Chain A
Amino acid sequence: MDHRRHIQNESPEPVGRRWHALSVVSLGLTVLLTVVILVLVAADVVYLLRRGVTAAEFWRTLSSPAVLGGIRMSLLTSTVTLLLVLCFAVPIGYALSRYRFPGRAVLNAVLDAPIVLTPVVVGLSLLAFFGSPLGGWIRTAVERGGWTLDSAIGIVLCQFLVSVPYCIRATKASFEEVDRELEHVALSLGCSPWSAFRRVTLPLARSGLVAGGVMAWARAIGVFGPLMVFVGTSPRVTVMHTAMWLELNTGNIETSLVIALVALALAGTALSLVHWLAPGRKWL
Protein backbone atom coordinates (compact mmCIF):
# COMPACT_ATOMS: atom_id res chain seq x y z
CA MET A 1 0.00 0.00 0.00
CA ASP A 2 2.76 2.38 1.00
CA HIS A 3 4.65 1.37 -2.07
CA ARG A 4 1.62 2.15 -4.30
CA ARG A 5 1.21 5.57 -2.70
CA HIS A 6 4.86 6.23 -3.33
CA ILE A 7 4.41 5.43 -7.04
CA GLN A 8 1.19 7.44 -7.37
CA ASN A 9 2.41 10.49 -5.52
CA GLU A 10 6.04 10.82 -6.46
CA SER A 11 6.70 9.01 -9.69
CA PRO A 12 4.89 11.04 -12.40
CA GLU A 13 6.33 14.47 -11.68
CA PRO A 14 10.06 13.71 -11.70
CA VAL A 15 9.61 11.49 -14.77
CA GLY A 16 7.64 14.23 -16.51
CA ARG A 17 10.25 16.83 -15.63
CA ARG A 18 13.06 14.55 -16.76
CA TRP A 19 11.40 13.88 -20.10
CA HIS A 20 10.68 17.53 -20.56
CA ALA A 21 14.35 18.45 -19.99
CA LEU A 22 15.50 15.62 -22.26
CA SER A 23 13.15 16.78 -25.05
CA VAL A 24 14.40 20.35 -24.80
CA VAL A 25 18.06 19.28 -24.88
CA SER A 26 17.64 16.79 -27.75
CA LEU A 27 15.51 19.12 -29.85
CA GLY A 28 17.89 21.99 -29.10
CA LEU A 29 20.91 19.95 -30.24
CA THR A 30 19.04 18.87 -33.39
CA VAL A 31 18.25 22.46 -34.28
CA LEU A 32 21.83 23.53 -33.45
CA LEU A 33 23.39 20.91 -35.73
CA THR A 34 20.95 21.71 -38.55
CA VAL A 35 21.80 25.39 -38.23
CA VAL A 36 25.55 24.60 -38.32
CA ILE A 37 25.16 22.59 -41.54
CA LEU A 38 22.97 25.27 -43.15
CA VAL A 39 25.43 27.98 -42.07
CA LEU A 40 28.27 26.05 -43.73
CA VAL A 41 26.29 25.78 -46.98
CA ALA A 42 25.35 29.45 -46.75
CA ALA A 43 29.04 30.30 -46.13
CA ASP A 44 29.88 28.76 -49.53
CA VAL A 45 27.24 30.90 -51.25
CA VAL A 46 28.24 34.06 -49.33
CA TYR A 47 31.92 33.49 -50.20
CA LEU A 48 31.07 33.23 -53.90
CA LEU A 49 28.91 36.37 -53.74
CA ARG A 50 31.62 38.34 -51.90
CA ARG A 51 34.14 37.29 -54.57
CA GLY A 52 31.78 38.73 -57.15
CA VAL A 53 30.67 35.43 -58.67
CA THR A 54 27.39 36.24 -60.40
CA ALA A 55 24.80 33.73 -61.55
CA ALA A 56 26.13 34.03 -65.12
CA GLU A 57 29.65 33.33 -63.90
CA PHE A 58 28.40 30.43 -61.80
CA TRP A 59 26.86 28.80 -64.89
CA ARG A 60 29.95 29.58 -67.00
CA THR A 61 32.19 27.85 -64.43
CA LEU A 62 29.78 24.96 -64.15
CA SER A 63 29.72 24.45 -67.93
CA SER A 64 33.49 24.57 -68.39
CA PRO A 65 34.79 21.30 -69.95
CA ALA A 66 36.80 20.28 -66.86
CA VAL A 67 33.94 20.79 -64.38
CA LEU A 68 31.25 19.45 -66.66
CA GLY A 69 33.44 16.45 -67.54
CA GLY A 70 33.91 15.69 -63.83
CA ILE A 71 30.17 15.94 -63.11
CA ARG A 72 29.36 13.80 -66.17
CA MET A 73 31.91 11.14 -65.15
CA SER A 74 30.55 11.12 -61.58
CA LEU A 75 26.96 10.68 -62.75
CA LEU A 76 27.87 8.00 -65.30
CA THR A 77 30.10 5.89 -63.01
CA SER A 78 27.83 6.20 -59.97
CA THR A 79 24.83 5.08 -62.04
CA VAL A 80 26.73 2.02 -63.35
CA THR A 81 27.90 1.38 -59.77
CA LEU A 82 24.31 1.60 -58.54
CA LEU A 83 23.19 -1.12 -60.99
CA LEU A 84 26.12 -3.31 -59.98
CA VAL A 85 25.46 -2.68 -56.28
CA LEU A 86 21.79 -3.70 -56.63
CA CYS A 87 22.80 -6.91 -58.46
CA PHE A 88 24.87 -7.90 -55.43
CA ALA A 89 23.07 -6.26 -52.51
CA VAL A 90 19.56 -7.59 -53.19
CA PRO A 91 20.48 -11.31 -53.22
CA ILE A 92 23.06 -10.92 -50.43
CA GLY A 93 20.65 -8.90 -48.25
CA TYR A 94 17.96 -11.54 -48.86
CA ALA A 95 20.30 -14.40 -47.97
CA LEU A 96 21.50 -12.69 -44.79
CA SER A 97 17.95 -11.94 -43.70
CA ARG A 98 16.58 -15.42 -44.39
CA TYR A 99 19.26 -18.03 -43.81
CA ARG A 100 21.02 -19.01 -40.60
CA PHE A 101 24.38 -20.74 -41.15
CA PRO A 102 27.69 -21.14 -39.32
CA GLY A 103 29.92 -18.11 -39.71
CA ARG A 104 27.02 -15.76 -40.49
CA ALA A 105 28.22 -13.22 -37.90
CA VAL A 106 31.73 -13.25 -39.37
CA LEU A 107 30.33 -12.85 -42.88
CA ASN A 108 28.23 -9.89 -41.69
CA ALA A 109 31.31 -8.28 -40.14
CA VAL A 110 33.40 -8.76 -43.29
CA LEU A 111 30.67 -7.30 -45.50
CA ASP A 112 30.27 -4.32 -43.17
CA ALA A 113 34.00 -3.69 -42.86
CA PRO A 114 34.23 -1.01 -45.60
CA ILE A 115 31.70 1.08 -43.63
CA VAL A 116 34.03 1.47 -40.66
CA LEU A 117 37.27 1.74 -42.64
CA THR A 118 38.40 5.00 -44.14
CA PRO A 119 37.68 4.70 -47.89
CA VAL A 120 41.36 5.32 -48.69
CA VAL A 121 42.01 1.79 -47.38
CA VAL A 122 39.89 0.48 -50.26
CA GLY A 123 42.14 2.27 -52.78
CA LEU A 124 45.28 1.03 -51.06
CA SER A 125 43.98 -2.54 -50.90
CA LEU A 126 43.08 -2.42 -54.61
CA LEU A 127 46.60 -1.21 -55.41
CA ALA A 128 48.06 -4.06 -53.33
CA PHE A 129 45.74 -6.63 -54.87
CA PHE A 130 46.44 -5.65 -58.48
CA GLY A 131 50.15 -5.78 -57.63
CA SER A 132 49.79 -9.44 -56.58
CA PRO A 133 50.10 -12.37 -59.03
CA LEU A 134 46.30 -12.97 -59.10
CA GLY A 135 45.50 -9.27 -59.42
CA GLY A 136 48.20 -8.91 -62.07
CA TRP A 137 46.61 -11.74 -64.04
CA ILE A 138 43.20 -9.99 -63.86
CA ARG A 139 44.79 -6.66 -64.83
CA THR A 140 46.40 -8.33 -67.87
CA ALA A 141 43.09 -9.95 -68.82
CA VAL A 142 41.35 -6.55 -68.60
CA GLU A 143 44.06 -4.94 -70.70
CA ARG A 144 43.85 -7.73 -73.30
CA GLY A 145 40.19 -6.84 -73.64
CA GLY A 146 41.22 -3.31 -74.63
CA TRP A 147 40.43 -1.64 -71.28
CA THR A 148 42.54 -0.37 -68.40
CA LEU A 149 41.91 -0.20 -64.68
CA ASP A 150 42.82 3.49 -64.43
CA SER A 151 39.62 4.36 -66.27
CA ALA A 152 35.90 4.40 -65.53
CA ILE A 153 36.29 0.69 -64.69
CA GLY A 154 38.63 1.53 -61.79
CA ILE A 155 36.30 4.30 -60.64
CA VAL A 156 33.32 1.93 -60.64
CA LEU A 157 35.37 -0.67 -58.75
CA CYS A 158 36.25 1.83 -56.00
CA GLN A 159 32.71 3.20 -55.81
CA PHE A 160 31.26 -0.31 -55.70
CA LEU A 161 33.46 -1.50 -52.83
CA VAL A 162 32.76 1.62 -50.77
CA SER A 163 28.99 1.78 -51.35
CA VAL A 164 27.84 -1.85 -51.53
CA PRO A 165 27.87 -2.46 -47.73
CA TYR A 166 25.37 0.38 -47.19
CA CYS A 167 22.96 -1.12 -49.68
CA ILE A 168 23.40 -4.64 -48.24
CA ARG A 169 22.50 -3.34 -44.78
CA ALA A 170 19.44 -1.55 -46.14
CA THR A 171 18.19 -4.51 -48.22
CA LYS A 172 18.79 -6.93 -45.32
CA ALA A 173 16.74 -4.70 -42.99
CA SER A 174 13.98 -4.39 -45.60
CA PHE A 175 13.75 -8.13 -46.17
CA GLU A 176 13.74 -8.76 -42.42
CA GLU A 177 10.62 -6.62 -42.17
CA VAL A 178 8.76 -8.88 -44.61
CA ASP A 179 6.89 -11.61 -42.71
CA ARG A 180 8.16 -15.04 -43.81
CA GLU A 181 4.65 -16.42 -43.39
CA LEU A 182 3.61 -14.35 -46.43
CA GLU A 183 6.24 -16.14 -48.52
CA HIS A 184 5.07 -19.51 -47.21
CA VAL A 185 1.49 -18.70 -48.11
CA ALA A 186 2.59 -17.60 -51.59
CA LEU A 187 4.37 -20.95 -52.05
CA SER A 188 1.23 -22.83 -51.04
CA LEU A 189 -0.87 -20.68 -53.40
CA GLY A 190 1.08 -21.79 -56.46
CA CYS A 191 4.29 -19.74 -56.48
CA SER A 192 7.73 -21.11 -57.11
CA PRO A 193 10.35 -19.69 -54.71
CA TRP A 194 11.39 -17.15 -57.38
CA SER A 195 7.78 -16.21 -58.11
CA ALA A 196 7.07 -15.75 -54.37
CA PHE A 197 10.11 -13.50 -54.14
CA ARG A 198 9.10 -11.47 -57.19
CA ARG A 199 5.37 -11.20 -56.43
CA VAL A 200 5.42 -10.86 -52.64
CA THR A 201 8.81 -10.25 -51.02
CA LEU A 202 10.20 -7.75 -53.50
CA PRO A 203 7.11 -5.49 -53.65
CA LEU A 204 6.87 -5.45 -49.85
CA ALA A 205 10.56 -4.60 -49.46
CA ARG A 206 10.54 -2.20 -52.39
CA SER A 207 10.66 1.16 -50.64
CA GLY A 208 13.58 0.00 -48.49
CA LEU A 209 15.41 -1.37 -51.52
CA VAL A 210 14.95 1.85 -53.48
CA ALA A 211 16.09 3.89 -50.49
CA GLY A 212 19.12 1.59 -50.05
CA GLY A 213 19.94 2.06 -53.72
CA VAL A 214 19.71 5.84 -53.46
CA MET A 215 21.92 5.78 -50.37
CA ALA A 216 24.49 3.63 -52.17
CA TRP A 217 24.37 5.96 -55.19
CA ALA A 218 24.90 9.01 -52.95
CA ARG A 219 27.83 7.23 -51.28
CA ALA A 220 29.30 6.24 -54.67
CA ILE A 221 29.11 9.76 -56.07
CA GLY A 222 30.96 11.04 -52.98
CA VAL A 223 33.89 8.58 -53.26
CA PHE A 224 37.15 10.48 -53.49
CA GLY A 225 40.05 9.04 -51.45
CA PRO A 226 40.26 5.60 -53.09
CA LEU A 227 40.14 7.22 -56.53
CA MET A 228 43.13 9.45 -55.72
CA VAL A 229 45.06 6.32 -54.66
CA PHE A 230 43.91 3.78 -57.26
CA VAL A 231 43.00 5.61 -60.50
CA GLY A 232 44.82 8.91 -60.06
CA THR A 233 43.86 12.39 -61.24
CA SER A 234 44.37 12.38 -64.99
CA PRO A 235 41.65 14.33 -66.87
CA ARG A 236 40.03 11.16 -68.28
CA VAL A 237 39.39 9.80 -64.77
CA THR A 238 38.36 13.07 -63.17
CA VAL A 239 35.11 12.84 -61.21
CA MET A 240 33.30 15.71 -59.52
CA HIS A 241 35.21 15.48 -56.22
CA THR A 242 38.60 15.04 -57.92
CA ALA A 243 37.87 18.13 -60.03
CA MET A 244 36.97 20.01 -56.85
CA TRP A 245 40.26 18.93 -55.22
CA LEU A 246 42.33 19.82 -58.30
CA GLU A 247 40.75 23.29 -58.54
CA LEU A 248 41.40 23.88 -54.84
CA ASN A 249 45.04 22.81 -55.25
CA THR A 250 45.56 25.29 -58.07
CA GLY A 251 44.01 28.10 -55.98
CA ASN A 252 40.65 28.27 -57.79
CA ILE A 253 38.54 28.31 -54.65
CA GLU A 254 35.52 29.78 -56.49
CA THR A 255 35.41 26.94 -59.05
CA SER A 256 35.96 24.44 -56.26
CA LEU A 257 33.01 25.91 -54.33
CA VAL A 258 30.78 25.86 -57.41
CA ILE A 259 31.42 22.11 -57.71
CA ALA A 260 30.88 21.70 -53.96
CA LEU A 261 27.45 23.34 -54.24
CA VAL A 262 26.49 21.02 -57.11
CA ALA A 263 27.65 18.02 -55.01
CA LEU A 264 25.61 19.33 -52.06
CA ALA A 265 22.53 19.74 -54.24
CA LEU A 266 22.88 16.18 -55.57
CA ALA A 267 23.44 14.72 -52.09
CA GLY A 268 20.52 16.72 -50.68
CA THR A 269 18.22 15.50 -53.43
CA ALA A 270 19.32 11.88 -52.92
CA LEU A 271 18.86 11.98 -49.15
CA SER A 272 15.48 13.68 -49.43
CA LEU A 273 14.49 10.90 -51.79
CA VAL A 274 15.59 8.30 -49.23
CA HIS A 275 13.55 9.89 -46.44
CA TRP A 276 10.55 10.31 -48.72
CA LEU A 277 10.70 6.70 -49.93
CA ALA A 278 11.33 5.09 -46.58
CA PRO A 279 10.19 7.31 -43.71
CA GLY A 280 10.94 5.93 -40.28
CA ARG A 281 13.13 3.04 -41.42
CA LYS A 282 15.17 1.54 -38.61
CA TRP A 283 18.43 1.70 -40.53
CA LEU A 284 18.19 5.38 -41.46
Chain B
Amino acid sequence: MALTVLRVRGLHLQVGSFRVSDVSFDVPQGEYFVLMGPTGSGKSLTARCVAGLIPVESGTITIDGRDVTHLEPRRRGVGYMPQHGALFPHLDVAGNILFPLRVRGTAAAEARAAVAPLVNMLGLGELMGRRVGTLSGGERQKAALARALASRPRLLLLDEPLSALDEPSRREIGKELRRAQRALGIATVHICHNTEEARALADRAGVIHAGRLVQTGPLDELQRQPASAAVARLLGVSARGQE
Protein backbone atom coordinates (compact mmCIF):
# COMPACT_ATOMS: atom_id res chain seq x y z
CA MET B 1 0.00 0.00 0.00
CA ALA B 2 1.33 3.42 -1.02
CA LEU B 3 2.52 5.76 1.69
CA THR B 4 0.14 8.61 2.47
CA VAL B 5 1.79 11.92 1.57
CA LEU B 6 -1.02 14.38 2.34
CA ARG B 7 -3.50 13.81 5.12
CA VAL B 8 -6.13 16.46 5.79
CA ARG B 9 -8.37 15.93 8.80
CA GLY B 10 -11.38 17.97 9.93
CA LEU B 11 -10.27 21.14 8.21
CA HIS B 12 -12.29 24.21 9.16
CA LEU B 13 -11.59 27.73 7.97
CA GLN B 14 -13.49 30.91 7.40
CA VAL B 15 -12.80 33.67 4.87
CA GLY B 16 -15.26 36.56 5.14
CA SER B 17 -18.70 35.00 5.39
CA PHE B 18 -17.67 31.80 3.58
CA ARG B 19 -16.85 28.66 5.58
CA VAL B 20 -15.00 25.50 4.67
CA SER B 21 -16.14 22.83 7.11
CA ASP B 22 -14.83 19.46 8.17
CA VAL B 23 -12.82 18.65 5.04
CA SER B 24 -10.86 15.39 5.28
CA PHE B 25 -9.02 13.50 2.57
CA ASP B 26 -5.76 11.61 1.92
CA VAL B 27 -3.46 11.63 -1.08
CA PRO B 28 -1.01 8.70 -1.27
CA GLN B 29 2.42 8.74 -2.91
CA GLY B 30 2.18 8.94 -6.70
CA GLU B 31 -1.57 9.64 -6.81
CA TYR B 32 -3.15 12.30 -9.00
CA PHE B 33 -6.06 13.55 -6.93
CA VAL B 34 -8.49 15.98 -8.54
CA LEU B 35 -10.51 18.15 -6.18
CA MET B 36 -13.59 19.32 -8.04
CA GLY B 37 -16.33 21.76 -7.25
CA PRO B 38 -18.35 24.57 -8.76
CA THR B 39 -17.06 28.17 -8.58
CA GLY B 40 -17.13 29.43 -5.00
CA SER B 41 -17.38 25.96 -3.45
CA GLY B 42 -14.19 26.30 -1.39
CA LYS B 43 -11.82 24.10 -3.40
CA SER B 44 -9.21 26.83 -4.00
CA LEU B 45 -9.43 27.93 -0.34
CA THR B 46 -8.73 24.33 0.68
CA ALA B 47 -5.72 24.22 -1.64
CA ARG B 48 -4.35 27.53 -0.33
CA CYS B 49 -4.84 26.27 3.19
CA VAL B 50 -2.79 23.14 2.39
CA ALA B 51 -0.11 25.41 0.87
CA GLY B 52 -0.09 27.46 4.10
CA LEU B 53 -1.33 30.67 2.53
CA ILE B 54 -4.51 30.83 4.63
CA PRO B 55 -4.56 30.03 8.34
CA VAL B 56 -6.55 27.04 9.55
CA GLU B 57 -9.28 27.55 12.13
CA SER B 58 -9.19 23.93 13.26
CA GLY B 59 -8.17 20.54 11.90
CA THR B 60 -4.79 19.12 10.91
CA ILE B 61 -2.71 18.89 7.75
CA THR B 62 0.12 16.38 7.69
CA ILE B 63 2.63 15.87 4.89
CA ASP B 64 4.67 12.67 5.06
CA GLY B 65 3.39 12.16 8.60
CA ARG B 66 4.67 15.57 9.75
CA ASP B 67 2.11 18.00 11.13
CA VAL B 68 2.44 21.14 8.98
CA THR B 69 -0.86 22.77 10.01
CA HIS B 70 0.77 25.84 11.47
CA LEU B 71 4.05 25.70 9.55
CA GLU B 72 5.20 28.51 7.20
CA PRO B 73 4.52 27.79 3.49
CA ARG B 74 8.23 27.48 2.73
CA ARG B 75 8.70 24.65 5.26
CA ARG B 76 5.85 22.46 4.02
CA GLY B 77 7.48 20.84 0.97
CA VAL B 78 4.59 21.86 -1.28
CA GLY B 79 5.03 22.97 -4.89
CA TYR B 80 2.16 25.40 -5.51
CA MET B 81 1.02 26.52 -8.95
CA PRO B 82 -1.88 28.98 -9.18
CA GLN B 83 -4.33 29.46 -12.03
CA HIS B 84 -2.32 31.79 -14.27
CA GLY B 85 1.05 30.36 -13.30
CA ALA B 86 2.04 33.58 -11.54
CA LEU B 87 5.48 33.68 -13.12
CA PHE B 88 7.60 36.55 -11.85
CA PRO B 89 7.55 39.14 -14.67
CA HIS B 90 10.89 40.72 -13.68
CA LEU B 91 12.73 37.43 -14.23
CA ASP B 92 13.23 35.41 -17.40
CA VAL B 93 12.10 31.78 -17.64
CA ALA B 94 15.41 30.50 -16.25
CA GLY B 95 15.23 32.95 -13.35
CA ASN B 96 11.74 31.71 -12.54
CA ILE B 97 12.59 28.02 -12.72
CA LEU B 98 15.78 28.42 -10.69
CA PHE B 99 14.03 30.69 -8.14
CA PRO B 100 13.20 28.05 -5.49
CA LEU B 101 16.76 26.73 -5.57
CA ARG B 102 18.44 30.15 -5.57
CA VAL B 103 16.25 31.21 -2.61
CA ARG B 104 17.59 28.22 -0.71
CA GLY B 105 21.16 29.31 -1.43
CA THR B 106 22.02 26.88 -4.25
CA ALA B 107 24.75 28.23 -6.54
CA ALA B 108 23.57 29.20 -10.04
CA ALA B 109 25.54 26.48 -11.88
CA GLU B 110 24.46 23.80 -9.44
CA ALA B 111 20.83 24.95 -9.67
CA ARG B 112 20.95 24.84 -13.48
CA ALA B 113 22.32 21.31 -13.39
CA ALA B 114 19.66 20.26 -10.89
CA VAL B 115 16.74 21.49 -13.04
CA ALA B 116 18.19 20.33 -16.38
CA PRO B 117 16.31 16.96 -16.45
CA LEU B 118 13.05 18.74 -15.57
CA VAL B 119 13.63 21.39 -18.21
CA ASN B 120 14.32 18.71 -20.84
CA MET B 121 11.31 16.66 -19.80
CA LEU B 122 8.98 19.66 -20.24
CA GLY B 123 10.73 20.83 -23.43
CA LEU B 124 11.62 24.22 -21.97
CA GLY B 125 15.28 24.29 -23.08
CA GLU B 126 14.77 26.89 -25.81
CA LEU B 127 12.60 29.10 -23.63
CA MET B 128 15.09 29.54 -20.78
CA GLY B 129 16.32 32.97 -21.91
CA ARG B 130 12.86 34.30 -22.83
CA ARG B 131 11.06 37.06 -20.93
CA VAL B 132 7.85 35.94 -19.29
CA GLY B 133 5.77 38.47 -21.25
CA THR B 134 6.71 36.83 -24.56
CA LEU B 135 5.42 33.34 -23.63
CA SER B 136 2.16 31.78 -24.81
CA GLY B 137 -0.38 30.61 -22.21
CA GLY B 138 0.77 27.00 -22.53
CA GLU B 139 4.46 27.91 -22.29
CA ARG B 140 3.74 29.93 -19.16
CA GLN B 141 2.00 27.01 -17.49
CA LYS B 142 4.87 24.65 -18.37
CA ALA B 143 7.41 27.10 -16.94
CA ALA B 144 5.28 27.52 -13.81
CA LEU B 145 5.05 23.74 -13.48
CA ALA B 146 8.84 23.42 -13.79
CA ARG B 147 9.28 26.10 -11.13
CA ALA B 148 6.84 24.36 -8.77
CA LEU B 149 8.73 21.08 -9.24
CA ALA B 150 12.27 22.49 -9.18
CA SER B 151 12.80 22.15 -5.44
CA ARG B 152 11.49 18.56 -5.55
CA PRO B 153 8.49 19.07 -3.30
CA ARG B 154 6.71 16.15 -1.66
CA LEU B 155 3.34 17.40 -2.82
CA LEU B 156 2.33 19.23 -6.01
CA LEU B 157 -0.64 21.56 -5.62
CA LEU B 158 -2.19 22.80 -8.88
CA ASP B 159 -4.96 25.39 -8.56
CA GLU B 160 -6.92 25.36 -11.84
CA PRO B 161 -3.74 25.17 -13.95
CA LEU B 162 -5.61 24.64 -17.23
CA SER B 163 -8.65 26.86 -16.88
CA ALA B 164 -7.07 29.93 -18.48
CA LEU B 165 -5.93 28.00 -21.59
CA ASP B 166 -7.64 27.44 -24.93
CA GLU B 167 -8.79 23.92 -25.76
CA PRO B 168 -5.68 22.67 -27.70
CA SER B 169 -3.30 24.09 -25.07
CA ARG B 170 -5.45 22.63 -22.32
CA ARG B 171 -5.15 19.15 -23.84
CA GLU B 172 -1.41 19.52 -24.45
CA ILE B 173 -0.57 20.88 -21.00
CA GLY B 174 -2.88 18.32 -19.38
CA LYS B 175 -0.85 15.56 -21.04
CA GLU B 176 2.42 17.19 -19.97
CA LEU B 177 1.16 17.45 -16.40
CA ARG B 178 0.21 13.79 -16.28
CA ARG B 179 3.47 12.71 -17.92
CA ALA B 180 5.61 14.76 -15.52
CA GLN B 181 3.60 13.60 -12.51
CA ARG B 182 3.98 9.94 -13.50
CA ALA B 183 7.68 10.32 -14.25
CA LEU B 184 8.35 11.93 -10.88
CA GLY B 185 5.83 9.83 -8.97
CA ILE B 186 4.79 12.87 -7.00
CA ALA B 187 1.53 13.09 -5.02
CA THR B 188 -0.59 15.74 -6.73
CA VAL B 189 -3.72 17.67 -5.86
CA HIS B 190 -5.30 19.32 -8.91
CA ILE B 191 -8.15 21.79 -8.40
CA CYS B 192 -10.68 22.12 -11.22
CA HIS B 193 -14.35 22.40 -12.06
CA ASN B 194 -14.25 20.60 -15.40
CA THR B 195 -15.33 16.95 -15.54
CA GLU B 196 -13.51 16.30 -18.83
CA GLU B 197 -10.28 17.59 -17.31
CA ALA B 198 -10.78 15.40 -14.24
CA ARG B 199 -11.52 12.36 -16.39
CA ALA B 200 -8.32 12.83 -18.40
CA LEU B 201 -6.10 13.25 -15.36
CA ALA B 202 -7.48 11.85 -12.12
CA ASP B 203 -6.56 8.64 -10.38
CA ARG B 204 -9.13 9.65 -7.81
CA ALA B 205 -11.36 12.65 -7.33
CA GLY B 206 -13.14 14.48 -4.58
CA VAL B 207 -16.18 16.75 -4.93
CA ILE B 208 -16.49 19.78 -2.72
CA HIS B 209 -19.77 21.66 -2.48
CA ALA B 210 -20.67 24.68 -0.32
CA GLY B 211 -17.49 24.29 1.69
CA ARG B 212 -17.93 20.57 2.41
CA LEU B 213 -16.18 17.60 0.81
CA VAL B 214 -19.19 15.51 -0.08
CA GLN B 215 -17.64 12.52 -1.86
CA THR B 216 -14.26 11.05 -2.81
CA GLY B 217 -13.33 8.04 -4.92
CA PRO B 218 -12.37 7.00 -8.45
CA LEU B 219 -14.14 9.26 -10.93
CA ASP B 220 -16.13 6.47 -12.61
CA GLU B 221 -17.41 5.41 -9.20
CA LEU B 222 -18.45 8.99 -8.47
CA GLN B 223 -20.26 9.11 -11.79
CA ARG B 224 -21.97 5.75 -11.21
CA GLN B 225 -23.03 6.51 -7.68
CA PRO B 226 -23.07 10.23 -6.97
CA ALA B 227 -23.66 10.85 -3.26
CA SER B 228 -25.94 13.82 -3.84
CA ALA B 229 -27.77 15.83 -6.46
CA ALA B 230 -24.97 18.45 -6.28
CA VAL B 231 -22.31 15.84 -7.16
CA ALA B 232 -24.47 14.51 -9.97
CA ARG B 233 -24.98 18.00 -11.35
CA LEU B 234 -21.28 18.78 -11.29
CA LEU B 235 -20.37 15.49 -12.99
CA GLY B 236 -23.14 15.89 -15.55
CA VAL B 237 -24.95 12.68 -14.61
CA SER B 238 -28.41 11.98 -13.22
CA ALA B 239 -28.74 11.45 -9.49
CA ARG B 240 -28.77 7.69 -10.15
CA GLY B 241 -25.52 7.92 -12.04
CA GLN B 242 -26.46 7.85 -15.74
CA GLU B 243 -25.04 10.40 -18.12
Instruction: Give me the interface of A with B, judged by CB distance under 8 Å.
Output: 179, 181-182, 184-192, 195, 199-200, 203-204
Enumerate chain B residues within 8 angstroms of A190, measured Cβ to Cβ. Answer: 74, 100, 103-104, 151
In the A-B complex, list the 8 residue pairs whose CB atoms are closest, starting with the nearest.
A188-B80, A189-B100, A190-B103, A187-B73, A185-B86, A188-B73, A203-B90, A190-B74
Residues of B within 8 A of A185 (CB): 80-82, 86, 88
Is there contact, CB below 8 Å, between A204 and B73? Answer: no
CB <8 Å contact, A181 and B147: no
> B206 an interface residue at 8 Å Cβ cutoff?
no
Q: Give the CA-CA distance A186 to B80 in the complex, in Å.
A: 10
Residues of chain A with a CB closer than 8 A to B51's CB: 184, 188
Quick check: A200 and B88 within 8 Å, CB to CB? yes
Query: Do residues A182 and B86 form an inter-chain contact, with CB atoms below 8 A?
Result: yes
Q: Is the CB of A181 within 8 A of B86?
A: yes
A179–B81 CA distance with the chains assembled, in angstroms: 15
Bound CA span A190–B80, Å: 11
**Bound complex: CA A8 to CA B45 (Å):** 47
Check: B99 CB closer than 8 A to any chain A CB.
yes
Complex: how many Å from CA A10 to CA B146?
Answer: 55
Q: How far is the CA of A200 from the CA of B78 in the complex (A)?
A: 19
Residue of A nearest to B105 (CB): A190
Contact yes or no, B82 A184, CB < 8 A? yes
- State whether B103 touches A188 (Cβ < 8 A): no
- Given contact pairs A191-B103, A192-B72, a sample of 18 additional A-B residue pairs in the complex whose CB atoms are under 8 Å apart: A181-B82, A181-B86, A184-B51, A185-B80, A185-B81, A185-B86, A186-B103, A188-B52, A188-B76, A188-B79, A188-B80, A189-B99, A189-B147, A189-B148, A190-B74, A191-B74, A195-B103, A199-B103
Compute how far the CA of A191 lies from the CA of B147 in the bound complex, rounded to whole angstroms: 14
Known: A203-B90, A204-B89, A204-B90. A187 touches B72 (CB 8 A): yes
Is B108 part of the contact surface with A, judged by Cβ < 8 Å?
no
Residues B53 and A189 in contact, CB atoms below 8 Å apart: no
Q: How far apart sit A210 and B228, CA to CA, in the bound complex (Å)?
A: 57
B90 close to A187 (CB less than 8 A): no
Q: Enumerate chain A residues within 8 angstroms of B80, measured Cβ to Cβ.
A: 184-185, 188-189
Task: Give Cα distance in the complex from A188 to B151, angstroms.
Answer: 11
Residues from chain A with a CB closer than 8 A to the CB of B86 are 179, 181-182, 184-185
Docked Cα-Cα span, A19 to B235, in Å, equals 51
Give CA–CA (A182, B86) in the complex, Å: 6
Interface size of B by Cβ–Cβ distance < 8 Å? 25
A-B contact pairs, 30 of them (CB 8 A): A182-B86, A184-B53, A184-B82, A185-B80, A185-B81, A185-B82, A186-B88, A186-B99, A186-B103, A187-B52, A187-B74, A188-B51, A188-B52, A188-B53, A188-B74, A188-B76, A188-B78, A188-B79, A189-B100, A189-B103, A190-B74, A190-B100, A190-B104, A190-B151, A192-B74, A195-B103, A200-B88, A203-B90, A204-B88, A204-B89
**Residues of B contacting A179 with CB < 8 Å?**
86
In this complex, what residue of A is CB-closest to B103? Answer: A190
Q: A186 vs B96: C-alpha distance in the bound complex, in angstroms?
A: 10
Complex Cα distance, B99 from A203, in Å, reads 14
Interface members, chain B 40-90 (any A CB < 8 Å): 48, 51-53, 72-74, 76, 78-82, 84, 86, 88-90
> Chain B nearest CB: distance from A206 CB in Å?
8
User: What is the distance, in angstroms, from B212's C-beta to the closest C-beta of chain A?
Assistant: 25
- CA A130 to CA B76, docked complex, whole Å: 53
B101 CB to nearest chain A CB (Å): 8
Most chain A beta-carbon contacts within 10 A, residue among B48, B51, B73: B73
The answer to whether B103 touches A187 (Cβ under 8 A) is no
Smallest CB gap from B53: residue in A? A184
Q: Which residues of the partner chain A approach B76 to less than 8 Å between Cβ atoms?
A: 188
- Alpha-carbon distance between A203 and B73 when the two chains are bound, in angstroms: 22
Task: Tell me which residues across on chain A come within 8 A of B78, comparing CB atoms.
Answer: 188
B53 touches A187 (CB 8 A): yes
The docked-state distance in angstroms from the alpha carbon of A195 to that of B148 is 17
List chain A residues, Cβ under 8 A from B90.
200, 203-204
CB distance from A219 to the nearest CB of B (A): 28
Name which residue of chain B comes closest to A182, CB basis.
Answer: B86
Docked CA distance A190–B81 (Å): 13
The residue in chain A whose Cβ has the minimal distance to the Cβ of B82 is: A181
Point out the residues of chain B lying under 8 angstroms from A181, CB to CB.
Answer: 82, 84, 86
Query: Which residues 172-191 of B sit at the A interface, judged by CB distance below 8 A?
Result: none
List CB contacts (< 8 Å) of B197-211 with chain A. Answer: none
Q: Please indicate the chain B residues that have their CB under 8 angstroms from the CB of A187 in the complex.
A: 52-53, 72-74
Which residues of chain A are within 8 angstroms of B103 by Cβ–Cβ distance?
186, 189-191, 195, 199
CA distance A126 to B129 in the complex (A): 55
